Amino acid sequence: MSVETPVVAVDGPSGVGKGTLALSLSAHLRWHLLDSGALYRLVALSAMRQRTALDDETTLAGIARTLPVAFSVQPGQGVRIDLAGDDVTRAIREERVGDAASRVAALPAVRANLLERQRDFRTAPGLVADGRDMGTVVFPRAPLKLFLTASAEVRARRRAAQLSVPENSATFEKIYSDIISRDQRDASRTTAPLKPADDAVILDTSELGIDQVLRQAITLIVDRGLQ
Ligand code: C5P
C-alpha cells in the first residue's frame, strides 16, 4: 500500500489568521502550500475583468477549469501569483475581489472544477492547505485538520490594523459588516459550507498571537508523527 503524502488542512472564516498560519507552517515544515481562497479570488478577478456576471455559472465554471495561473514562492515574501502572465498578487486581495470570490464560491460547478486542481497540490513531502473546506471536501482523509475561529470583532480589528484603519471610523464599521455578511454567505451555502470537519481540532485564536498558534499546530503535527 502506498503511503499518502500528508496534508495539514487549515480551515476557518475570513480574517482568522489561516493564511499567516498556513504560510508559516509550510515554511517551517518545508512543505507545499495551497491557498485555495486565491483560486476563488482568481476566478472572481477574471470574471470581473471580462465582465462576466457573478451568477453566470456556466461561464464561471469554464473560467475555473482553464484558469491560467502560476504560483511562485518568493522566499521571505510569500507567494507571487500570476494570471495569464500578469502579476495579480495584490489585485486579488482587494475587498471587492474577496466579496466577488465568495459569490462565485457558492456555485457548485465552480467548486467542482477547482477540486482536482486543488488536489494536485498534494505532492511530497507534504502539503499545508488553507481554505474553508480543506478538511471536509478537498482532503477528507487529511491526517491533521485544524479549524481556526475568532470572534467577528477580533477579526475586524485585525483586518483594520493591516489596512491602518482607525477602529472608530465608518471604514471599520464597513469591514466589520462585510466580515459578518461573508461569514453568513460562506456558512449558509448548500455546497461545501464553512464548518469544521467532525475530526477537526478547533483553535480559538481570539486571545492568541501567531507564534502561539504556530506552536500549537507544530505540537499537533509532531504528536501525530507527521514530521
Ligand atoms: O480565504 P479568502 O478570503 O482568500 O477566500 C475568498 C473567498 O473564497 C471566501 O470568502 C470563500 O467564499 C471562498 N473560499 C471557499 N472555499 C475555500 C477557500 C475560499 O469557498 N476553500
Distance in Å, CA 128 to ligand 1 centroid: 16
Q: Is 174 helix (H, G, I), strand (E, B) or coil?
A: helix
Mean pLDDT of 132-156: 96
What is the pairing mode between strands 69-74 and 78-83? antiparallel
What pLDDT does 57 receive? 98
Task: Find where cell 515574501 sits.
Answer: 77
In this prediction, residue 214 has a pLDDT band, given cuts at 50, 70 and 90, of very high
Top mutation candidate among 42, 132, 180 for ligand 1, by most atoms within 8 Å of CB: 132
CB-CB contact of 182 with 98 (8 Å):
yes
Mean pLDDT of 16-33: 94
Nearest protein Cα to ligand 1, atom 9: 102
Within 8 A by CB and 6+ apart from 91, the residues are 45, 97
In this prediction, residue 117 has a pLDDT band, given cuts at 50, 70 and 90, of very high
Q: Is the CB of 40 under 6 A from ligand 1?
A: yes
CB-CB contact of 148 with 27 (8 Å):
no
Percent of the chain with pLDDT over 70: 99
What pLDDT does 2 receive? 59
* Average pLDDT, rounded, for the chain: 94
CB-CB contact of 38 with 90 (8 Å):
no
**Is the whole-model pTM more than 0.85?**
yes
Mean pLDDT of 186-197: 91
Q: How far apart are CA 56 and CA 61, in angstroms?
A: 9
Q: Tell me which H or E stretch contains 73.
A: strand 69-74
Ligand 1 atom at minimum distance from 41 CA: 6
What pLDDT does 15 receive? 86
Ligand 1 atom at minimum distance from 11 CA: 21
DSSP state of 37: H
Top mutation candidate among 20, 36, 92 for ligand 1, by most atoms within 8 Å of CB: 36
Sheet-wide strand order for 144-149: 32-35, 127-131, 7-11, 144-149, 201-204
What pLDDT does 77 receive? 79
Distance in Å, CA 1 to ligand 1 centroid: 34
Nearest protein Cα to ligand 1, atom 2: 37
Beta bridge mates, 145: 9
Q: Is the CB of 102 under 6 A from ligand 1?
A: yes
50 residue type, one letter: Q
Q: Is the CB of 37 under 6 A from ligand 1?
A: yes
What residue ranges in the chain does DSSP mark as E strands?
Answer: 7-11, 32-35, 69-74, 78-83, 86-87, 127-131, 144-149, 201-204
Instruction: Please tell me the least confidently modeled range out of 3-7, 41-45, 52-56.
Output: 3-7
DSSP state of 192: S
Crossing angle of helices 210-223 and 18-29, in 10° steps, is 50
What pLDDT does 201 receive? 98
Mean pLDDT of 180-205: 92
Distance in Å, CA 2 to ligand 1 centroid: 32
